[in-house]
Structure 1
Amino acid sequence: MIHFFEKGSGQPLVLIHGFCESGNMWNYFAEELSDNFRVICPDLPGFGNSPISGDQITLEEVAVRLEEWMEENHIADPIVIGHSLGGYVTLALLELMGSRIKAVGLFHSTAFPDDEDKKEMRNRTITFLKKNGVEKFVTSFVPPLFPEKRREELAAEIESAIEDAKRSSLDGLIAYAGAMRDRKDRLEILKNFAGPKLLIAGTEDGAVKIEASRAQQDAFSHYIELQGVGHMGMIEEREKTLEVVREFGVFSS
Protein backbone atom coordinates (compact mmCIF):
# COMPACT_ATOMS: atom_id res chain seq x y z
CA MET A 1 0.00 0.00 0.00
CA ILE A 2 1.23 3.47 -0.92
CA HIS A 3 0.08 6.18 1.47
CA PHE A 4 -0.33 9.62 -0.11
CA PHE A 5 -2.13 12.93 0.06
CA GLU A 6 -3.29 15.19 -2.73
CA LYS A 7 -4.52 18.73 -3.23
CA GLY A 8 -6.06 20.56 -6.18
CA SER A 9 -7.21 19.35 -9.57
CA GLY A 10 -6.11 19.37 -13.19
CA GLN A 11 -2.72 18.29 -14.54
CA PRO A 12 -1.28 15.64 -12.18
CA LEU A 13 1.99 16.70 -10.53
CA VAL A 14 3.61 13.91 -8.49
CA LEU A 15 6.22 15.05 -5.94
CA ILE A 16 8.46 12.25 -4.63
CA HIS A 17 10.41 12.73 -1.41
CA GLY A 18 13.97 11.66 -0.69
CA PHE A 19 15.85 9.46 1.78
CA CYS A 20 14.83 9.98 5.44
CA GLU A 21 11.83 12.03 4.27
CA SER A 22 8.12 11.55 3.60
CA GLY A 23 5.44 13.11 1.44
CA ASN A 24 4.94 15.62 4.27
CA MET A 25 8.03 17.49 3.12
CA TRP A 26 5.94 18.81 0.21
CA ASN A 27 3.07 20.21 2.32
CA TYR A 28 3.83 23.83 1.50
CA PHE A 29 4.48 23.14 -2.19
CA ALA A 30 1.26 21.13 -2.47
CA GLU A 31 -0.78 23.89 -0.90
CA GLU A 32 0.74 26.62 -3.08
CA LEU A 33 0.62 24.61 -6.32
CA SER A 34 -2.90 23.25 -5.86
CA ASP A 35 -4.39 26.25 -7.70
CA ASN A 36 -2.59 25.09 -10.85
CA PHE A 37 -2.27 21.32 -10.52
CA ARG A 38 -3.53 18.13 -8.96
CA VAL A 39 -0.55 17.73 -6.62
CA ILE A 40 0.00 14.19 -5.33
CA CYS A 41 2.62 13.36 -2.68
CA PRO A 42 3.24 9.69 -1.89
CA ASP A 43 5.22 8.12 0.93
CA LEU A 44 7.66 5.67 -0.66
CA PRO A 45 7.46 2.14 0.81
CA GLY A 46 9.33 2.16 4.13
CA PHE A 47 8.88 5.89 4.77
CA GLY A 48 6.10 7.88 6.43
CA ASN A 49 2.96 5.76 6.49
CA SER A 50 3.83 3.36 3.65
CA PRO A 51 4.93 -0.09 4.85
CA ILE A 52 7.81 -2.13 3.48
CA SER A 53 8.33 -5.87 3.84
CA GLY A 54 11.97 -6.66 4.60
CA ASP A 55 15.17 -4.65 4.17
CA GLN A 56 15.79 -5.32 0.47
CA ILE A 57 14.34 -3.38 -2.45
CA THR A 58 15.41 -2.12 -5.87
CA LEU A 59 14.50 1.15 -7.51
CA GLU A 60 12.93 -0.88 -10.32
CA GLU A 61 10.61 -2.57 -7.81
CA VAL A 62 9.67 0.81 -6.35
CA ALA A 63 8.88 2.08 -9.85
CA VAL A 64 6.56 -0.87 -10.52
CA ARG A 65 4.70 -0.22 -7.26
CA LEU A 66 4.34 3.47 -8.11
CA GLU A 67 3.09 2.65 -11.61
CA GLU A 68 0.41 0.36 -10.10
CA TRP A 69 -0.46 3.05 -7.53
CA MET A 70 -0.88 5.64 -10.30
CA GLU A 71 -3.17 3.33 -12.26
CA GLU A 72 -5.28 2.65 -9.15
CA ASN A 73 -5.64 6.37 -8.44
CA HIS A 74 -6.21 7.50 -12.05
CA ILE A 75 -2.99 9.50 -12.23
CA ALA A 76 -2.43 9.69 -15.99
CA ASP A 77 0.21 11.57 -17.98
CA PRO A 78 1.84 13.01 -14.84
CA ILE A 79 4.66 15.47 -14.35
CA VAL A 80 6.97 13.69 -11.86
CA ILE A 81 9.52 15.57 -9.75
CA GLY A 82 11.73 13.85 -7.18
CA HIS A 83 14.11 15.06 -4.49
CA SER A 84 17.42 13.19 -4.14
CA LEU A 85 16.40 9.49 -3.78
CA GLY A 86 13.05 10.62 -5.20
CA GLY A 87 14.91 11.69 -8.33
CA TYR A 88 16.45 8.24 -8.67
CA VAL A 89 12.96 6.77 -8.34
CA THR A 90 11.67 9.27 -10.91
CA LEU A 91 14.26 8.08 -13.44
CA ALA A 92 13.43 4.41 -12.75
CA LEU A 93 9.79 5.32 -13.32
CA LEU A 94 10.75 7.10 -16.55
CA GLU A 95 12.54 3.96 -17.77
CA LEU A 96 9.43 1.91 -16.98
CA MET A 97 6.75 4.27 -18.29
CA GLY A 98 8.49 6.33 -20.99
CA SER A 99 6.13 8.61 -22.88
CA ARG A 100 3.32 7.90 -20.39
CA ILE A 101 5.10 10.49 -18.24
CA LYS A 102 4.66 14.08 -19.44
CA ALA A 103 7.74 15.66 -17.84
CA VAL A 104 10.35 14.88 -15.18
CA GLY A 105 12.25 16.95 -12.66
CA LEU A 106 15.24 16.17 -10.45
CA PHE A 107 15.58 18.21 -7.26
CA HIS A 108 19.17 17.88 -5.96
CA SER A 109 19.52 14.50 -7.68
CA THR A 110 21.44 12.89 -10.54
CA ALA A 111 21.16 10.43 -13.40
CA PHE A 112 24.68 9.14 -12.66
CA PRO A 113 25.23 6.02 -10.53
CA ASP A 114 27.18 6.01 -7.27
CA ASP A 115 30.95 6.05 -7.61
CA GLU A 116 33.05 3.68 -5.51
CA ASP A 117 33.47 6.15 -2.64
CA LYS A 118 29.73 6.73 -2.44
CA LYS A 119 29.06 2.98 -2.57
CA GLU A 120 31.39 2.50 0.37
CA MET A 121 29.54 5.27 2.22
CA ARG A 122 26.24 3.45 1.61
CA ASN A 123 27.75 0.27 3.05
CA ARG A 124 28.87 2.19 6.15
CA THR A 125 25.35 3.62 6.45
CA ILE A 126 23.84 0.12 6.42
CA THR A 127 26.31 -1.07 9.07
CA PHE A 128 25.58 1.98 11.25
CA LEU A 129 21.83 1.54 10.93
CA LYS A 130 21.95 -2.12 11.89
CA LYS A 131 24.05 -1.30 14.94
CA ASN A 132 22.47 1.99 16.12
CA GLY A 133 18.94 2.22 14.69
CA VAL A 134 16.90 4.98 13.08
CA GLU A 135 16.96 7.81 15.61
CA LYS A 136 20.71 7.96 16.11
CA PHE A 137 21.25 7.81 12.35
CA VAL A 138 18.80 10.53 11.31
CA THR A 139 19.93 13.01 13.98
CA SER A 140 23.43 12.87 12.50
CA PHE A 141 22.36 12.52 8.85
CA VAL A 142 19.90 15.40 8.43
CA PRO A 143 21.77 18.55 9.59
CA PRO A 144 24.67 18.22 7.09
CA LEU A 145 22.12 18.31 4.25
CA PHE A 146 21.98 22.06 4.98
CA PRO A 147 24.94 24.46 4.52
CA GLU A 148 26.80 24.89 7.79
CA LYS A 149 26.55 28.68 7.69
CA ARG A 150 22.73 28.54 7.65
CA ARG A 151 22.07 25.77 10.19
CA GLU A 152 21.46 28.19 13.06
CA GLU A 153 19.04 30.26 10.97
CA LEU A 154 17.21 27.13 9.79
CA ALA A 155 17.26 25.35 13.18
CA ALA A 156 13.47 24.99 13.37
CA GLU A 157 13.26 23.60 9.83
CA ILE A 158 16.11 21.17 10.52
CA GLU A 159 14.42 19.96 13.71
CA SER A 160 11.18 19.42 11.77
CA ALA A 161 13.08 17.44 9.11
CA ILE A 162 14.67 15.28 11.83
CA GLU A 163 11.28 14.56 13.39
CA ASP A 164 9.88 13.51 10.00
CA ALA A 165 12.98 11.37 9.37
CA LYS A 166 12.38 9.52 12.64
CA ARG A 167 9.19 8.13 11.09
CA SER A 168 11.32 6.18 8.59
CA SER A 169 11.42 2.43 9.21
CA LEU A 170 14.74 0.73 9.91
CA ASP A 171 14.04 -1.76 7.11
CA GLY A 172 13.24 1.13 4.76
CA LEU A 173 16.48 2.99 5.45
CA ILE A 174 18.58 -0.16 5.02
CA ALA A 175 16.69 -1.15 1.86
CA TYR A 176 17.09 2.22 0.14
CA ALA A 177 20.73 2.64 1.14
CA GLY A 178 21.32 -0.59 -0.77
CA ALA A 179 19.04 0.42 -3.64
CA MET A 180 20.86 3.73 -4.12
CA ARG A 181 24.24 1.99 -3.95
CA ASP A 182 23.21 -0.50 -6.64
CA ARG A 183 21.32 1.82 -8.98
CA LYS A 184 22.39 2.02 -12.60
CA ASP A 185 23.38 4.92 -14.84
CA ARG A 186 20.20 6.38 -16.36
CA LEU A 187 21.71 9.31 -18.24
CA GLU A 188 20.87 7.84 -21.65
CA ILE A 189 17.28 7.16 -20.57
CA LEU A 190 17.04 10.79 -19.53
CA LYS A 191 18.62 12.06 -22.76
CA ASN A 192 16.29 9.94 -24.90
CA PHE A 193 13.16 11.24 -23.20
CA ALA A 194 11.50 13.81 -25.47
CA GLY A 195 9.49 15.61 -22.78
CA PRO A 196 10.55 18.58 -20.64
CA LYS A 197 13.30 17.83 -18.11
CA LEU A 198 14.26 19.94 -15.09
CA LEU A 199 17.34 19.83 -12.86
CA ILE A 200 17.58 22.00 -9.74
CA ALA A 201 21.11 21.97 -8.30
CA GLY A 202 22.74 23.63 -5.28
CA THR A 203 26.29 24.95 -5.43
CA GLU A 204 26.88 23.88 -1.79
CA ASP A 205 25.19 20.48 -2.08
CA GLY A 206 27.29 17.95 -0.18
CA ALA A 207 25.25 14.94 -1.31
CA VAL A 208 25.06 15.66 -5.07
CA LYS A 209 28.15 17.66 -5.97
CA ILE A 210 27.66 20.66 -8.24
CA GLU A 211 30.32 19.27 -10.60
CA ALA A 212 28.11 16.22 -11.22
CA SER A 213 25.09 18.43 -11.91
CA ARG A 214 27.05 20.58 -14.35
CA ALA A 215 28.37 17.46 -16.10
CA GLN A 216 24.82 16.39 -17.03
CA GLN A 217 23.11 19.75 -17.50
CA ASP A 218 23.00 19.35 -21.29
CA ALA A 219 20.58 16.43 -20.81
CA PHE A 220 17.98 18.81 -19.37
CA SER A 221 15.72 21.35 -21.07
CA HIS A 222 15.62 23.39 -17.83
CA TYR A 223 18.69 23.72 -15.58
CA ILE A 224 18.61 25.86 -12.44
CA GLU A 225 21.66 26.40 -10.25
CA LEU A 226 21.03 27.82 -6.77
CA GLN A 227 23.97 29.78 -5.36
CA GLY A 228 24.90 29.00 -1.77
CA VAL A 229 22.25 26.29 -1.48
CA GLY A 230 22.87 22.80 -0.11
CA HIS A 231 20.75 19.68 -0.57
CA MET A 232 17.43 21.10 0.63
CA GLY A 233 16.54 23.89 -1.78
CA MET A 234 12.81 23.47 -1.18
CA ILE A 235 13.51 24.67 2.37
CA GLU A 236 16.60 26.85 1.92
CA GLU A 237 15.12 28.78 -1.05
CA ARG A 238 11.47 27.92 -0.63
CA GLU A 239 9.83 30.68 -2.69
CA LYS A 240 12.39 30.60 -5.48
CA THR A 241 12.20 26.83 -5.95
CA LEU A 242 8.42 26.89 -5.66
CA GLU A 243 8.26 29.30 -8.59
CA VAL A 244 10.71 27.18 -10.59
CA VAL A 245 8.48 24.12 -10.10
CA ARG A 246 5.32 26.11 -10.88
CA GLU A 247 6.76 27.57 -14.09
CA PHE A 248 8.12 24.19 -15.18
CA GLY A 249 4.75 22.58 -14.51
CA VAL A 250 2.87 25.23 -16.48
CA PHE A 251 5.40 24.94 -19.32
CA SER A 252 5.02 21.15 -19.36
CA SER A 253 1.22 21.04 -19.17
Structure 2
Amino acid sequence: MSHSRPTAVRPLRPAALLTLAALVAALFTAVISPAATASAAAYRYWGYFQQANGSWKYSQVGSDQYKPRDGAVDGWRFAVSETGRPPRATPSFQDICGATPAVAGKKRVGVVIDYGRAADAATGTPPAPVAKCAVVDPTASGTEVLAAVASPRVEKQMVCGIDGWPATGCSDTVATVSAAAKAADTPVTIAAAKKADAPADAKASSGTSTSTLVLIGAIVLVAIVVGAVAVRRRSRT
Protein backbone atom coordinates (compact mmCIF):
# COMPACT_ATOMS: atom_id res chain seq x y z
CA MET A 1 0.00 0.00 0.00
CA SER A 2 1.51 3.19 -1.08
CA HIS A 3 1.35 6.38 0.89
CA SER A 4 1.69 9.82 -0.64
CA ARG A 5 3.98 12.20 1.09
CA PRO A 6 2.39 15.28 2.65
CA THR A 7 2.98 18.46 0.66
CA ALA A 8 5.51 20.66 2.36
CA VAL A 9 4.46 24.26 3.02
CA ARG A 10 7.07 26.51 1.58
CA PRO A 11 7.86 29.68 3.52
CA LEU A 12 6.97 32.94 1.79
CA ARG A 13 9.83 34.79 0.27
CA PRO A 14 10.54 38.38 1.35
CA ALA A 15 9.13 39.78 -1.89
CA ALA A 16 5.90 37.84 -1.39
CA LEU A 17 5.66 39.10 2.19
CA LEU A 18 6.00 42.68 1.02
CA THR A 19 3.27 42.18 -1.60
CA LEU A 20 0.95 40.65 1.00
CA ALA A 21 1.61 43.52 3.40
CA ALA A 22 0.82 46.04 0.68
CA LEU A 23 -2.47 44.29 -0.11
CA VAL A 24 -3.47 44.25 3.56
CA ALA A 25 -2.61 47.94 3.90
CA ALA A 26 -4.64 48.82 0.81
CA LEU A 27 -7.60 46.83 2.10
CA PHE A 28 -7.36 48.48 5.51
CA THR A 29 -7.25 51.95 3.93
CA ALA A 30 -10.26 51.17 1.74
CA VAL A 31 -12.22 50.03 4.78
CA ILE A 32 -11.44 52.99 7.05
CA SER A 33 -11.42 55.77 4.44
CA PRO A 34 -15.22 56.08 4.19
CA ALA A 35 -15.42 56.27 7.96
CA ALA A 36 -12.73 58.93 8.09
CA THR A 37 -14.49 60.96 5.41
CA ALA A 38 -17.80 60.66 7.19
CA SER A 39 -16.29 61.85 10.47
CA ALA A 40 -14.53 64.87 8.88
CA ALA A 41 -16.07 67.95 10.42
CA ALA A 42 -16.22 71.67 9.98
CA TYR A 43 -15.85 74.16 12.79
CA ARG A 44 -17.84 77.16 13.96
CA TYR A 45 -15.23 79.80 14.69
CA TRP A 46 -13.77 83.26 14.11
CA GLY A 47 -11.32 83.36 11.20
CA TYR A 48 -8.59 86.00 11.00
CA PHE A 49 -7.69 87.65 7.67
CA GLN A 50 -5.55 90.41 6.20
CA GLN A 51 -6.59 92.53 3.23
CA ALA A 52 -4.21 92.70 0.27
CA ASN A 53 -4.92 94.38 -3.06
CA GLY A 54 -8.63 94.55 -2.35
CA SER A 55 -9.08 90.90 -1.35
CA TRP A 56 -8.85 88.87 1.84
CA LYS A 57 -6.03 86.46 2.67
CA TYR A 58 -6.36 83.94 5.49
CA SER A 59 -3.74 84.69 8.15
CA GLN A 60 -0.96 82.13 8.35
CA VAL A 61 -0.36 82.91 12.03
CA GLY A 62 -2.57 83.64 15.01
CA SER A 63 -3.72 87.18 15.70
CA ASP A 64 -1.63 87.23 18.89
CA GLN A 65 1.52 86.68 16.80
CA TYR A 66 0.75 88.93 13.83
CA LYS A 67 1.49 92.68 13.95
CA PRO A 68 -0.38 94.61 11.25
CA ARG A 69 1.41 97.64 9.85
CA ASP A 70 0.15 101.20 9.82
CA GLY A 71 -2.40 101.53 7.01
CA ALA A 72 -3.33 97.82 7.04
CA VAL A 73 -6.84 96.34 7.19
CA ASP A 74 -7.59 93.30 9.37
CA GLY A 75 -10.66 91.14 8.89
CA TRP A 76 -12.61 88.87 11.24
CA ARG A 77 -15.35 86.49 10.11
CA PHE A 78 -17.52 84.08 12.12
CA ALA A 79 -18.59 81.11 10.03
CA VAL A 80 -19.00 77.37 9.77
CA SER A 81 -16.06 76.17 7.72
CA GLU A 82 -13.10 73.83 7.48
CA THR A 83 -10.68 76.44 6.18
CA GLY A 84 -12.30 79.76 7.09
CA ARG A 85 -14.58 82.16 5.21
CA PRO A 86 -13.48 85.76 4.57
CA PRO A 87 -15.54 88.82 5.53
CA ARG A 88 -18.30 89.58 3.03
CA ALA A 89 -17.18 93.18 2.51
CA THR A 90 -13.81 94.67 1.57
CA PRO A 91 -13.80 98.36 2.52
CA SER A 92 -10.43 100.02 2.00
CA PHE A 93 -8.24 101.63 4.64
CA GLN A 94 -9.36 105.03 3.38
CA ASP A 95 -13.00 104.00 3.73
CA ILE A 96 -12.46 102.94 7.33
CA CYS A 97 -9.79 105.31 8.67
CA GLY A 98 -10.05 108.26 6.31
CA ALA A 99 -11.94 110.32 8.90
CA THR A 100 -9.61 109.36 11.76
CA PRO A 101 -6.64 111.73 12.14
CA ALA A 102 -3.16 110.22 12.37
CA VAL A 103 -1.55 110.40 15.81
CA ALA A 104 2.19 110.76 16.32
CA GLY A 105 3.75 107.58 17.71
CA LYS A 106 0.66 105.47 16.86
CA LYS A 107 -0.50 103.36 13.94
CA ARG A 108 -3.95 103.23 12.37
CA VAL A 109 -5.40 99.87 11.34
CA GLY A 110 -8.79 99.32 9.73
CA VAL A 111 -10.79 96.46 11.27
CA VAL A 112 -13.69 94.68 9.55
CA ILE A 113 -15.82 92.49 11.81
CA ASP A 114 -18.31 90.18 10.07
CA TYR A 115 -20.44 88.30 12.59
CA GLY A 116 -21.60 85.91 9.89
CA ARG A 117 -24.99 84.71 8.67
CA ALA A 118 -27.85 83.15 10.57
CA ALA A 119 -26.83 79.85 8.96
CA ASP A 120 -23.42 80.15 10.64
CA ALA A 121 -24.87 80.63 14.12
CA ALA A 122 -25.79 77.85 16.52
CA THR A 123 -28.65 80.02 17.78
CA GLY A 124 -29.77 83.61 17.49
CA THR A 125 -29.35 86.33 14.89
CA PRO A 126 -25.86 87.76 14.34
CA PRO A 127 -25.23 91.51 14.41
CA ALA A 128 -24.60 93.38 11.17
CA PRO A 129 -20.99 93.63 9.98
CA VAL A 130 -19.05 96.72 11.04
CA ALA A 131 -15.79 98.46 10.15
CA LYS A 132 -13.82 100.52 12.66
CA CYS A 133 -10.49 102.30 12.81
CA ALA A 134 -8.07 101.32 15.56
CA VAL A 135 -5.40 103.76 16.75
CA VAL A 136 -2.83 101.73 18.67
CA ASP A 137 0.85 101.42 19.54
CA PRO A 138 3.11 100.45 16.61
CA THR A 139 3.89 97.10 18.26
CA ALA A 140 0.25 96.10 18.81
CA SER A 141 -0.69 92.60 17.68
CA GLY A 142 -3.82 91.68 15.74
CA THR A 143 -5.56 90.72 18.98
CA GLU A 144 -4.65 94.06 20.57
CA VAL A 145 -5.84 95.92 17.48
CA LEU A 146 -9.18 94.12 17.73
CA ALA A 147 -9.42 94.92 21.44
CA ALA A 148 -9.07 98.63 20.64
CA VAL A 149 -12.37 98.65 18.71
CA ALA A 150 -14.30 95.68 20.12
CA SER A 151 -14.54 93.33 23.11
CA PRO A 152 -12.93 89.99 22.23
CA ARG A 153 -13.36 86.87 24.34
CA VAL A 154 -9.98 85.13 24.30
CA GLU A 155 -9.37 81.59 25.50
CA LYS A 156 -5.96 79.92 25.26
CA GLN A 157 -4.74 82.71 22.95
CA MET A 158 -7.66 82.08 20.59
CA VAL A 159 -10.35 84.67 19.84
CA CYS A 160 -13.54 82.76 20.64
CA GLY A 161 -16.05 85.62 20.63
CA ILE A 162 -16.29 89.27 19.63
CA ASP A 163 -18.70 91.68 21.30
CA GLY A 164 -20.46 88.74 22.92
CA TRP A 165 -20.89 86.81 19.67
CA PRO A 166 -21.09 83.98 20.37
CA ALA A 167 -21.52 84.18 24.12
CA THR A 168 -20.12 80.70 24.70
CA GLY A 169 -18.13 78.05 22.88
CA CYS A 170 -14.85 78.17 21.02
CA SER A 171 -14.18 76.61 17.63
CA ASP A 172 -16.97 74.08 18.16
CA THR A 173 -17.13 71.01 15.93
CA VAL A 174 -20.01 70.85 13.45
CA ALA A 175 -20.49 67.24 12.38
CA THR A 176 -23.23 67.98 9.85
CA VAL A 177 -23.02 71.21 7.89
CA SER A 178 -26.40 72.48 6.66
CA ALA A 179 -27.01 73.38 3.03
CA ALA A 180 -27.51 77.01 4.07
CA ALA A 181 -24.11 77.07 5.79
CA LYS A 182 -22.50 75.54 2.70
CA ALA A 183 -24.11 78.11 0.38
CA ALA A 184 -21.97 80.81 -1.20
CA ASP A 185 -21.83 84.17 0.54
CA THR A 186 -23.73 87.20 -0.67
CA PRO A 187 -21.56 90.35 -0.50
CA VAL A 188 -22.66 93.02 1.95
CA THR A 189 -21.98 96.75 2.15
CA ILE A 190 -20.52 98.46 5.18
CA ALA A 191 -21.12 102.20 5.33
CA ALA A 192 -17.98 104.31 5.02
CA ALA A 193 -16.82 106.15 8.12
CA LYS A 194 -18.33 109.60 8.56
CA LYS A 195 -16.15 112.66 8.38
CA ALA A 196 -14.92 113.73 11.77
CA ASP A 197 -16.46 116.87 13.24
CA ALA A 198 -14.29 120.00 13.22
CA PRO A 199 -12.46 120.61 16.54
CA ALA A 200 -14.26 122.87 19.00
CA ASP A 201 -11.55 125.54 18.83
CA ALA A 202 -11.79 125.58 15.05
CA LYS A 203 -15.54 126.08 15.28
CA ALA A 204 -15.09 128.92 17.78
CA SER A 205 -12.50 130.52 15.53
CA SER A 206 -14.85 130.30 12.58
CA GLY A 207 -17.66 131.87 14.62
CA THR A 208 -15.47 134.76 15.78
CA SER A 209 -14.36 135.51 12.23
CA THR A 210 -17.96 135.68 11.06
CA SER A 211 -18.92 138.02 13.90
CA THR A 212 -15.99 140.26 13.10
CA LEU A 213 -17.02 140.50 9.47
CA VAL A 214 -20.58 141.40 10.44
CA LEU A 215 -19.32 144.11 12.81
CA ILE A 216 -17.04 145.59 10.16
CA GLY A 217 -19.87 145.59 7.66
CA ALA A 218 -22.15 147.44 10.09
CA ILE A 219 -19.49 150.06 10.80
CA VAL A 220 -18.92 150.65 7.10
CA LEU A 221 -22.67 150.97 6.52
CA VAL A 222 -23.04 153.50 9.34
CA ALA A 223 -20.08 155.49 7.98
CA ILE A 224 -21.70 155.61 4.54
CA VAL A 225 -25.00 156.82 5.97
CA VAL A 226 -23.30 159.49 8.14
CA GLY A 227 -21.24 160.67 5.16
CA ALA A 228 -24.32 160.93 2.97
CA VAL A 229 -26.18 162.98 5.58
CA ALA A 230 -23.20 165.35 5.98
CA VAL A 231 -22.95 165.88 2.23
CA ARG A 232 -26.65 166.63 2.02
CA ARG A 233 -26.49 169.26 4.79
CA ARG A 234 -23.56 171.02 3.11
CA SER A 235 -25.42 171.16 -0.18
CA ARG A 236 -28.33 172.92 1.50
CA THR A 237 -26.12 175.58 3.05
TM range (shorter): under 0.3
TM-score calculated relative to the size of structure 1 = 0.24
Tell me which structure has the larger Cα radius of gyration.
2
Greater strand percent: which structure? Answer: 2
Higher relative contact order (CA 8 A, sep 6+): 1
